[in-house]
């Protein structure tokens, strides 16, 4: 059999197994992206192997428990009954036909891309890769990552990408706790290193995702993900800056946005807040700005939006200081409670939450800090932040004891009428309280 026939046979065999759902799916990284993917493939009949370095997470999943609030334990239990197994043994990657890499891509302390999770994962699985596998990177990254970092590692042991092993980039589009869009209903962009890789990637996702969007290359898919999130970051930066201007002019920015949103074309409403949070929007723009420097391009517009958004916790803290001064109180010694510390409403996701930055500012300036967030009962382990705090029940008594509360994340579970009645001073970063009130400060 010649090389072309061998390549065709390898690709056809892989696509057949993926299409008839006899393939084994391997998911590396069992967090906010990996778990929903695992559940989707398991629920439609695939055998799924999950890989993670965190033994505690592996044990939890094998015991039918998810530490992610919006994922029900019953779904994890059902996946186990359908054959799902989590492991820390990366040698078992050889059992998988389709492999998805769902690992973090944070920034370094110098705000440069940190691909160590991606490259270390590839180094771990490389010795166990075999012919007839498709490997898809789902982590957000800069254009060129798949070609420059993934391909050489896949070919370390003599495999040839596009011939007997296949490389794909397909960016995740998870929106935790958004019931309107699920893993299968969110259209999925897929880019392959070669036409054969693209065919394998489409076969990998076709059974699980309702709508696939094939693009011409992995670089195009990588850039697509960055554009999606930079679009949001820039527009949020714009409205955050306009919030500051409107506040100085005595204008309610939320009223302005709502009025502008009545225009049926040419305007999309974005709303200000205490800063950007989550695993994408605060981070992804800097992946492109870093890569653009390789081409002698200065992405001034993107970087300016990043500066505006990064400065929002300082703006909110300044509002707190000013409001306490009006009450003849310093921050030092004042009891200050942060309401909501997850990065957005109705989730337990703490990644890049601006609430944490505000908490550090209060603590570092001598405030007596507490927080209330039913979605985050205990302050979690985080790479760059540490608090020995637990969520306090939000009662009239607790509220009345505080010198100020910062409404940082507008969870639906909060009783906003009670907060308004009993809190002495409210720093409202989310526009919850629209009516004028002497003890509510908009921030």
Nearest Cα to Cα of residue 129 among 101, 170, 87: 101
* CA proximity to 276, closest of 84, 409, 114, 133: 409
Rounded to the nearest 10 degrees, the angle between the axes of helix 312-326 and helix 354-364 is: 40
Which pairing describes strands 335-339 and 368-372: parallel, antiparallel, or unpaired?
A: parallel
> What CA–CA distance (Å, rounded) separates 306 from 237?
7
Q: What whole-number distance in Å separates Cα of residue 427 and Cα of residue 412?
A: 18
How far is CA 344 from each of CA 81, 281, 440, rounded to the nearest angstrom?
33, 12, 21
Instruction: Give all strands of the β-sheet with 85-87 in edge-to-edge order.
Output: 85-87, 47-51, 24-28, 98-101, 133-137, 165-169, 188-192, 212-215
* Residues whose CB is less than 8 angstroms from the CB of residue 289 and which lie 6 or more positions away in sequence, other chains included: 299, 302, 303, 306
Ordered DSSP codes for 151-185: HHHHTTTS--BTTTEEEEE------TT-TTS-TTT
Element containing residue 116 per DSSP (H, E): helix 116-125
DSSP state of 148: I
Pairing type for strands 24-28 and 98-101 reads parallel
Give the distance from CA 46 to its chain's centroid. 26
**CA-to-CA dists, residue 92 to 59, 186, 411, angstroms:** 17, 30, 41
Reduced to 3 states (helix: H, G, I; strand: E, B; else coil), residue 441 is: strand
Residues marked active site are found at: 280
DSSP at 107: B
Q: What is the token pair recorded at 255?
A: 């009223």
Enumerate the H helices of 327-406 as residue ranges: 354-364, 396-401
């Amino acid at each position: 059999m010649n090389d072309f026939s061998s390549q065709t046979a390898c690709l056809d065999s892989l696509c057949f197994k993926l299409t008839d759902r006899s393939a084994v799916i391997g998911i590396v990284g069992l967090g906010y992206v990996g778990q929903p993917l695992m559940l989707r493939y398991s629920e439609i009949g695939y055998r799924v192997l999950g890989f993670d370095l965190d033994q505690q997470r592996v044990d939890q999943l094998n015991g039918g428990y998810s530490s992610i609030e919006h994922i029900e334990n019953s779904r994890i239990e059902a996946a186990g009954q359908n054959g799902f197994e989590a492991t820390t043994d990366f040698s078992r990657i050889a059992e998988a036909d389709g492999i998805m890499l769902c690992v973090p891509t944070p920034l370094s302390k110098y705000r440069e891309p940190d691909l160590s999770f991606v490259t270390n994962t590839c180094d771990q699985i490389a010795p166990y890769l075999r012919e007839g596998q498709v490997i898809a990177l789902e982590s957000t990254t800069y254009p060129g990552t798949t070609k420059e970092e993934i391909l050489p590692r896949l070919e370390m042991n003599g495999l040839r990408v596009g011939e007997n092993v296949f490389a794909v980039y397909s960016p995740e589009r998870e929106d935790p706790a958004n019931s309107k869009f699920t893993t299968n209903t969110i259209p999925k962009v897929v880019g392959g290193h070669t036409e054969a890789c693209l065919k394998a990637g489409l076969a990998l996702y076709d059974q699980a995702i309702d709508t696939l969007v094939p693009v011409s290359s992995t670089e195009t898919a990588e850039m697509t993900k960055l554009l999606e999130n930079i679009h949001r970051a820039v527009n949020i930066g714009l409205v955050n800056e306009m919030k500051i201007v409107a506040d100085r002019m005595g204008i309610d920015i939320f009223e302005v946005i709502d009025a502008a949103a009545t225009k049926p074309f040419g305007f999309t409403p974005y709303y200000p807040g205490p800063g950007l949070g989550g695993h994408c929007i605060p981070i992804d723009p800097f992946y492109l700005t870093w890569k653009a420097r390789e081409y002698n391009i200065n992405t001034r517009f993107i970087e300016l939006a990043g500066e505006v958004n990064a400065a929002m916790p300082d703006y909110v803290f300044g509002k707190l200081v000013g409001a306490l001064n009006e009450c003849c109180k310093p921050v030092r010694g004042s009891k200050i409670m942060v309401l909501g510390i997850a990065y957005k409403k109705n989730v337990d996701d703490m990644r890049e939450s601006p609430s944490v930055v505000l908490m550090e500012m209060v603590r570092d300036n001598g405030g007596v800090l507490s927080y209330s967030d039913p979605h985050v009962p205990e302050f979690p382990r985080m790479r760059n932040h540490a608090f020995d705090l637990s969520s306090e029940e939000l009662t009239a008594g607790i509220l009345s004891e505080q010198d100020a509360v910062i409404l940082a994340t507008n969870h639906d579970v909060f009783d906003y009428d009670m907060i308004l009645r009993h809190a002495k001073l409210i720093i409202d970063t989310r526009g919850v309280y629209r009516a004028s009130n002497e003890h509510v400060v908009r921030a």
